[in-house]
Amino acid sequence: MKLLNLLTSVYLIIIMVALLIGGFFIYRKLGDEIDFELGMELDRQIEAYAERIRQGVSPEALVNERLEIKELPFQLDEENLSIRDTIAYHDPLSREEKQLKASKSFKIENRHYRISYYNLVIEAEDITETVVYTMLVVFFIQLVFLGLFFRGISNWILKPFQHTLQKIQQFNFQTNKPLYFEKSKVTEFNHLNEFLERMTQKLLKDYRQIKEFSENISHEIQTPTAVVSGKLENLMNSEMTEEQAHLIYAAYQNNERIHKIVKSLSLLAKLENEEFDPPSQIDLSEILEKNIALLSELVVLSDLKLQTEIRPKVMVKIHPFIAEIMINNLLGNAIKHNFKGGWIKIQLKLDHMIIENSGSPIRQDSSELIQRFKKESENPESVGLGLAIVNQICKTYKFGFGYVIRDDIHTITIDFK
């Protein structure tokens, strides 16, 4: 969720809660105020009728549907004003209605009268309707204010933050340029930008040092490993004992393994740092078929049965060289970790590729085998980086990667979407 939308949602929730609480208190206050004013009005009406009796008007002439006058024994004390709810017939509506009844007694010219006056009560439903209507109007006004003013103001305040986000998203190591930001009127944004500037400068410095170190290691190790390989090959072609031959061959294999490890680690570093050119749409079907043809002899020598289902013209957005590495590692993995008389099934569709192969059950969790230097096989040709490279390629190009092993079936799935 965007920050502006989050702020808007929080603001709306606060407004709604405030309106509910305010509406409750308004409802209570409005009801009490209406009751009070209505009681005062009834008291005034009763006093007015009592004054007319004092002026000589007959009580019988004053009685109507709202007024009730009853004569009491004179020796009784005068009654104070009492107000209570009652049900009375309301003539204009032709039905009984809930009404408020106020009563008070007066002693006038040696006679004692109880004067009662009725008035319709404003019911709770009417008050609730009024309060709800008022709150809805207020809430609608708040929404308009939010849309036209609050979001506009918030967007203006957060504009420097949006610029910062855009620059962070555009930052990459290949440009070799640290981030620089314009000064903002908001102190917190300036502090954030200053920290990001220092951080990117440090990142670029560390990146250059690590890149230079890895390149130097990769370059410098090639010469001695090539020399060692050459000398070991010469020794293998000369006369020696069987024990010496085994030792020289073991040294040769380990020297080749060092060369593969350095090459693979260098490739992983380049993938993680996104040092390759931007991807382009390539025909993965063509690359897959070419690599299968190159490895067909090895498949025959390994006594493996190969079954393919390759859809032509499967276009995938990836760097061609990286696609070659990915396919080569996957096919090599399926061949190396198989057994004589085993099988390999390759399926390529528009949105995914599946490579299945027979193989021995493993003791480790399959998820561990895609980590660096994790391997189950004792094959000296395996350095434990093939699946790690494929996994990193999938992360770089946003492909889905899955590796599942059930009994003696190894399944690798790559989802291009």
- Per residue in 163-177, pLDDT (tens digit) is 888 888 777 766 777
Rounded to two decimals, what is the model's pTM? 0.45
Q: CA-to-CA distance for 73 and 89, rounded, in angstroms?
A: 28
Beta-carbon contacts of 303 under 8 Å, excluding residues fewer than 6 positions away, are 340, 341, 342
225 & 280 share domain = no
Contact status, residue 167 vs residue 179, Cβ threshold 8 Å = yes
110 & 235 share domain = no
34 & 127 share domain = yes
Residue 156 lies in a domain: no
Whether residue 371 is predicted with pLDDT greater than 60 in this model: the reply is no
pLDDT interval class at 383 (50, 70, 90):
very low
pLDDT score of 354: 92
304 & 386 share domain = yes
Residue with tokens 């990915």: 326
Residue 113 lies in a domain: yes
pLDDT score of 372: 44
Q: CA-to-CA distance for 12 and 149, rounded, in angstroms?
A: 14
198 & 323 share domain = no
Residue 402 lies in a domain: yes
Q: CA-to-CA distance for 160 and 181, rounded, in angstroms?
A: 9
Residue with tokens 């609730």: 128
| Domain-ending residue, one of 243, 270, 297 | 270
pLDDT score of 88: 57
pLDDT interval class at 382 (50, 70, 90):
very low
pLDDT score of 285: 92
Q: Which of 274, 366, 254 is nearest to 318 (CA)?
A: 274
Ranked by mean pLDDT, the top range of 121-130, 284-293, 329-338 is 284-293
Tell me how many domains the chain contains.
3
| Domain-ending residue, one of 83, 118, 144 | 144
340 & 292 share domain = yes
Task: Please report the beta strands in 311-408, taking only residues with DSSP state E, as ranges in sequence order.
Answer: 315-318, 343-348, 352-358, 400-406
| Domain-ending residue, one of 246, 270, 294 | 270
Contact status, residue 336 vs residue 377, Cβ threshold 8 Å = yes
Number of H helices, E strands in the chain: 11, 11
* Ranges 91-95, 305-309, 398-402: which has the least confidence: 91-95
Average pLDDT of every residue of the chain: 76
Beta-carbon contacts of 272 under 8 Å, excluding residues fewer than 6 positions away, are 392, 396
Q: Which of 179, 124, 396, 94 is nearest to 268 (CA)?
A: 396
Token readout for 154 is: 């918030």
Ranked by mean pLDDT, the top range of 76-80, 83-87, 208-212, 381-385 is 76-80
Whether residue 263 is predicted with pLDDT greater than 70 in this model: the reply is no
266 & 281 share domain = no
> Could you report the per-residue pLDDT of 197-254, keeping only the tens digit for each?
888 888 778 777 766 666 666 656 666 777 777 777 777 777 777 777 777 777 766 6
**DSSP secondary structure string for all residues of 259-298:** HHHHHHHHHHHHHHTT-SPPPEEEEHHHHHHHHHHHTHHH
* Ranges 11-25, 220-234, 289-303: which has the least confidence: 220-234
> Which parts of 314-353 fold into alpha helices (H)?
320-336
Whether residue 3 is predicted with pLDDT greater than 70 in this model: the reply is no
Q: Which of 117, 116, 115, 121 is nearest to 97 (CA)?
A: 121
Token readout for 129 is: 């309707």
pLDDT score of 56: 80
With residue 143 as reference, give the H or E element that holds it. Answer: helix 124-145
Residue 210 lies in a domain: yes
Q: How far is CA 265 from the centre of its chain?
A: 34
pLDDT score of 86: 67
Under the phi-then-psi rule, with left for phi > 0, alpha for psi from -120 to 50, and beta for the rest, what region is 384? Answer: left
Identity at 258, one-letter amino acid code: I
* Ranges 29-33, 243-247, 277-281, 350-354: which has the least confidence: 29-33
pLDDT score of 139: 76
pLDDT score of 82: 82
Instruction: State whether the Cα torsion 221-320-316-345 is positive or negative.
Output: negative
Q: How many residues does the chain have?
A: 417
Token readout for 147 is: 């849309």
pLDDT score of 353: 92
Residue 162 lies in a domain: no
Contact status, residue 101 vs residue 88, Cβ threshold 8 Å = yes
pLDDT score of 376: 47
Whether residue 373 is predicted with pLDDT greater than 50 in this model: the reply is no
Beta-carbon contacts of 71 under 8 Å, excluding residues fewer than 6 positions away, are 59, 111, 112, 113, 114
Q: Which of 357, 170, 165, 384 is nearest to 257 (CA)?
A: 384
Range of the domain at 293: 276-415
Whether residue 340 is predicted with pLDDT greater than 50 in this model: the reply is yes
Ranked by mean pLDDT, the top range of 105-114, 149-158, 365-374 is 105-114
Token readout for 332 is: 């090599």
Residue 153 lies in a domain: no
Q: CA-to-CA distance for 63 and 47, rounded, in angstroms?
A: 14
